[in-house]
Structure 1
Amino acid sequence: MTFVQLIDCKTSRFDEMNRLMDTWVEQTKGKRTASHSIIGKDRSDDSHFIEIVEFPSYEDAMRNSNLPETDRIFREMVALCDEMPTFTDLDIIRDEQLYKDTCRRFFETIATKGDLPPLDGFLTENYHDHDPSFEQDNIGMDAVRREIEMWRGGFDSTFTIDDQLAEGDRVCTRWTWNATHNGEFMGIPASNKQVTMTGTTIHRCREDGKIVEGWWQYDRLGLMGQLEALEM
């Protein structure tokens, strides 16, 4: 979600307005581009209402506005208002809930069964990955995908999100990874051992919710001990 429209109106005929909105939703089914909407009533003025409508982008909002059903409903809405409604268009510059959702879905996706799905819905093309277990950072979606495939080739795994905190453009996720070692990993042949590992990842997101950068900390030494791969 990157764009929000606020519709501010005053009406003493809200029940009729509500039915009109239901009619519009029904008539635009399958064509409407809004992803979510809520309506709030002013606690100090029973005739004052504000609708907040979310769209994936400004372009989606304009397509929604250009629907013939929208134009017809708008004219009927104005007739029900005590005065001309106002519209405020807002570009979203910070959405911590969106960032947390993106990071959560990223962890779910990289542990999914079967082929690894596309990552361009989560990561920017020039994503920068910091992992202390490797000498060099991974930069770019292709490099990150190769690293993820390396882990997926060695383990059948799941992530459990234990905690998640967001502040500004950063999301900190504390996770637990449970896996079966059913493939070769860094020269260690498959053992079918059940292993677990805990870690924390900090992601930096940009305005549209995609992840730009990531910093990983996890108990790799403990993992190698479980695989009996530590040299004395």
Structure 2
Amino acid sequence: MTFVQLIDCRTSRFDEMNRLMDTWVEQTKGKRTATHAVVGKDRSDTSHFVEIVEFPSYEEAMRNSGLPETERIFQGMVALCDEMPTFTDLDVVRDEQLNPATSREFFERAGRAGTAELFARFADDYLDHDPANPGDLGLAAAREEYEGWRQAFDFTFRVDDQIAQGDRVCTRWTWAGKHTGEFVGIPASGQNVTMTGTTWHRFRDGLICEGWWQYDRAGLMEQLGVLGK
């Protein structure tokens, strides 16, 4: 079970504490078990800081605490605080990553949903980057391109992997389709085809506002008999 520790402290020497944490990160390379750390400053009290540290489990957190480097850094941290920091130990009972879920939903619906439903979570100023197109597409043009793919193929996406960082989500996917309509001048062949690729989505206010596509278009054309093997 994922474990999170909250460290609440007050200090007027945050720059020194920040350098202290940099030292700990450097000294514990290859040994620390923390997977994610965030430090926040109270907007109403600039001397109040909260650090949120995530671990794969409580046991891994205790192993991390047992490192001699951690103990030394803790003593240095206490010396820099205006008062004794407090610790809150939390077992994570619910963890929702909303942006990855929105990206996943897009791929799970693609090929099945209508244009309005599929693009409901896209910003009006959405910008689409696809090396197969001569230029970037806005939302209306991206919707039109999607309709073109739907008319040419009965298809679905399988989400193989996802990572998220900040406002961006990367999805590695496998696309499978049956060629049922004209595609870039190629008449319907009934051929079953597959393709792999990755898509980066950038989010703003919970909406997808930009997308970057990379996929094996040459492999698709080869399967359709346009490119020689």
TM class by smaller structure: 0.5 to 0.7
Any residues of structure 2 matched to 1:29-108 within 5 Å, and which? 97-108=97-108
> Given the alignment, which residue of 180, 193, 198 partners 2:178?
180
1:123-149 deviation line (CA, Å, top 9, x unaligned): 00110000001111101x211100101
SS in 2 for 1:188: coil
User: Partner residue of 1:40?
Assistant: none
Report how many residues are paired.
Answer: 135
> Given the alignment, which residue of 156, 159, 180 partners 2:157?
159
Matched, 1:215 2:195: no
- TM-score (normalised: structure 2): 0.56
1:2-41 deviation line (CA, Å, top 9, x unaligned): xxxxxxxxxxxxxxxxxxxxxxxxxxxxxxxxxxxxxxxx
Quick one: distance in 2 between partners of 1:102 and 1:112? 16
What is the percent sequence identity of the aligned residues? 56
Following TM superposition, by how much is the alpha carbon of 1:116 offset from its aligned partner in structure 2, in angstroms? 3.3
- TM-score (normalised: structure 1): 0.55
Matched, 1:227 2:224: yes
Following TM superposition, by how much is the alpha carbon of 1:118 offset from its aligned partner in structure 2, in angstroms? 2.9
Give runs of ≥4 in structure 1 deviating > 2 Å. Answer: 115-121
Quick one: distance in 2 between partners of 1:121 and 1:135? 26
SS in 2 for 1:127: strand
Following TM superposition, by how much is the alpha carbon of 1:101 offset from its aligned partner in structure 2, in angstroms? 0.7
SS in 1 for 2:115: coil
The change in CA–CA distance for 1:220 and 1:168 in structure 2 (over 3 A counts) is same
Unaligned 5+ segments in structure 1 are: 1-94
Quick one: distance in 1 between partners of 2:137 and 2:157? 21
Equivalent AA in structure 1 for residue 107 of structure 2: F
Following TM superposition, by how much is the alpha carbon of 1:230 offset from its aligned partner in structure 2, in angstroms? 1.9
Check the 8 A contact 1:96/1:166 in 2, yes or no: no
Check the 8 A contact 1:177/1:196 in 2, yes or no: yes
Equivalent AA in structure 2 for residue 130 of structure 1: H
Following TM superposition, by how much is the alpha carbon of 1:110 offset from its aligned partner in structure 2, in angstroms? 2.2
Check the 8 A contact 1:96/1:169 in 2, yes or no: no
Check the 8 A contact 1:96/1:167 in 2, yes or no: no
Following TM superposition, by how much is the alpha carbon of 1:231 offset from its aligned partner in structure 2, in angstroms? 6.5
Cα root mean square deviation, aligned = 1.9
Check the 8 A contact 2:119/2:143 in 1, yes or no: no
SS in 2 for 1:100: helix
Any residues of structure 2 matched to 1:81-160 within 5 Å, and which? 97-112=97-112, 115-139=114-138, 141-160=139-158
User: Partner residue of 2:203?
Assistant: 205
User: Partner residue of 2:168?
Assistant: 170
Quick one: distance in 2 between partners of 1:171 and 1:201? 8
Quick one: distance in 1 between partners of 2:207 and 2:226? 36
Check the 8 A contact 2:203/2:210 in 1, yes or no: yes
